Structure 1
Amino acid sequence: MPDGRRLAVEDRGAPTGRPVFLLHGTPGSRTGPAPRAGVLYRLGVRLITFDRPGYGDSDRNPGRTIGSGAADVAAVADWLGIERFAVVGRSGGAPHALGCAALLRDRVVRAAALVGLAPRGAEGLDWFEGMTASNVREFTVARVGLSAVAASLGAAAAQIRADPAGKIVGLTEEAPESDRRTVSDIGIRRMLLRNFAEGLRHSSDGWVDDVLAFCTDWTFDPAAIKVPTLLWHGENDVFSPVSHARWLRRRIPGAMLRIERGVAHFGALDILPDVLVWLTQD
């Protein structure tokens, strides 16, 4: 990076395909759930992922915001020699994808935000309504400050490092039936285990900084997004309630909102190949 930080990047799929940045969830890493190489080749997609600062092998960027993540994406694109690209974020990566769409308008051709959050304090939105208790606690602690979040998530990250499978068990205990079915797939479970273990391998810094960024000024207005934008959400999501997507649809000019009945948060894993098709259309 221009400021001396290092970012861990993974470049896969069709080398000459349409470039798409996939921004991982929270907590997560560049190894998070994604279509297999064969699917990417068939779709003609070059998929770029990277560990957000503080996760995996990427250096921390203290005080980062949702908007500042766009500069990281631009720097990776420059390093790979990519001028224009699409971007998709899932869960915690979704606000970062919207930041790219708002702040890199000359480079981002299309954007998709899957099961994401709206800005904290969004006017007319009950931010916590329908959200699972663990996420409410996590985001409530964020209002106390950095030290409180670091203490809480530091302990949680240590538990995940010792037993990554325990994190998945905890998620399924809170999740609707559709999410439990998705996560019961052995391939999905293996990807999630690898994702959590890699993202938190060294510390909880990335997780801490993500949570703080969600709960402070994003440093951009979603209304500034002018590129074609897709918002996708499972109607039964309890980790990022569907009301957040509805608020974003009202805020982002021309955004398309797709709400799928009978599915929840992890339904975004199943829909990703179709989203990649939409992202790479002319």
Structure 2
Amino acid sequence: MVSDGFFQEVIEELGVYIVSFDRPGYGESDPNPKQTVKSMAMDIEELADQLGLGSKFYVIGYSIGGQAVWSCLKYIPNRLATLLAPAVTYWWPNFPANVLNEAFNQKSRKDQWVIRVAHYAPWLVYWWNTQELFPASSVLANNSDVLSSQDKEITSRIYSRKDSVSQPVTEQGEFESLHRDLIVTQGAWEFDPLDLGNPFANNKGFVHLWHGDEDKIVPITMNRYIAEQLPWIWYHEVSGGGHFFPLADGMSNAIIKALLVGEK
């Protein structure tokens, strides 16, 4: 997500150490059939301690990885310096029904059914997304209908690069990676963002929430509502941005500067 040039600049100027890890079931990370929203925060805290990252660190969660950031805000806020969190689930209990319905209705009918199955019948998720009787998740099926104009431009640019290499992120199977993420994200959470208090009341850190206003994969409605209800969040709405907006020219620079330098 961060361009090589700016990454090098940040390292040299601010002494930044960036760690990316495979969530359970991805890459070479062991699957966790008992994975929960809370367990992600515990995994992150343990990893930070094992690597000696210090008492406080930054966390960035993109797309489905946003569940881990909300989890960190809830369970280990004392360890955090600042965050980025875009993901949503349609069963957060404190959201008004009209907000949830507006966001849910922006999804296609087939994706609405995928989400319902993940929430109400998680044991059917693998079957639903591998059988041919009903349409599977648009995202898992790589359906371009869920991509915005910007998303299509970005994916076309990435795939046309000569140095573009496909990484075997689901080599342990889609159920313990993609499907498990879907089950956990759309399952029963112990909290929702509206339960959270400002972990940085002393102004020694900030919570940033970024979202593209043309994102068709994660509707913007709920994150707009979160920003309205939690004024301590620094909300950045990217005009014309799709789901892959962090990969657009200049965006990774803007995100990193906001996190590390405090630029709005």
Cα shift at 1:214: 1.2
Alignment of 1:58-137 (within 5 A): 58-83=29-54, 84-114=56-86, 116-118=87-89, 120-122=91-93, 123-124=95-96, 125=99, 126=101, 127-133=103-109, 135-137=111-113
Tell whether 2:115 aligns with 1:145.
no
Q: Which runs of 5+ in 1 are unaligned?
A: 1-33, 157-166
Counterpart pick for 1:265 among 235, 243, 247: 243
Task: Output the amino acid matched with 2:106.
Answer: G
Q: Which runs of 5+ in 2 are unaligned?
A: 133-138, 201-205
C-alpha distance in 2, partners of 1:154/1:168?
10
Relative to structure 1, the CA distance from residue 135 to residue 268 in structure 2 (aligned partners, 3 Å threshold; closer, same or farther) is farther
Higher strand share: 1
1:200 alignment partner, SS class: coil
Task: Output the amino acid matched with 1:245.
Answer: N
Q: Is the 8 A contact 2:92 2:192 kept in 1?
A: no
Cα shift at 1:61: 1.3
C-alpha distance in 1, partners of 2:165/2:185?
24
Q: Is the 8 A contact 1:86 1:110 kept in 2?
A: yes
What are the superposed Cα offsets for residues 8-39 of structure 1, whole Å, 9 maximum, x if unpaired? xxxxxxxxxxxxxxxxxxxxxxxxxx224442
Aligned residue in 2 for 1:199: 169
Task: Output the amino acid matched with 1:273.
Answer: N
Alignment of 1:242-253 (within 5 A): 242-252=220-230
Alignment of 1:178-193 (within 5 A): 178-186=150-158
TM-score (norm 1): 0.74
TM-score (norm 2): 0.78
What are the superposed Cα offsets for residues 159-194 of structure 1, whole Å, 9 maximum, x if unpaired? xxxxxxxx7993433312121111111368789862
Aligned length: 237
Q: Radius of gyration: which is bigger?
A: 2
Tell whether 2:208 aligns with 1:237.
no
Aligned residue in 2 for 1:172: 144
1:237 alignment partner, SS class: coil
1:229 alignment partner, SS class: strand
What are the superposed Cα offsets for residues 104-137 of structure 1, whole Å, 9 maximum, x if unpaired? 11110101124x2145244212241212455323
Aligned residue in 1 for 2:203: none
Tell whether 2:6 aligns with 1:35.
no
* Higher alpha-carbon deviation: 73-82 or 62-71: 62-71
Task: Output the amino acid matched with 2:17.
Answer: R
C-alpha distance in 2, partners of 1:120/1:256?
24
Aligned residue in 1 for 2:136: none
Relative to structure 1, the CA distance from residue 77 to residue 244 in structure 2 (aligned partners, 3 Å threshold; closer, same or farther) is same
Task: Output the amino acid matched with 2:234.
Answer: M
Cα shift at 1:54: 1.3
Cα shift at 1:144: 4.0
Q: Is the 8 A contact 1:55 1:206 kept in 2?
A: yes
Cα shift at 1:151: 1.9
- Computed over aligned residues only, the root mean square deviation of the Cα atoms, in angstroms, reads 2.8
Task: Output the amino acid matched with 2:65.
Answer: G
1:185 alignment partner, SS class: helix
Relative to structure 1, the CA distance from residue 189 to residue 171 in structure 2 (aligned partners, 3 Å threshold; closer, same or farther) is farther
Aligned residue in 2 for 1:10: none
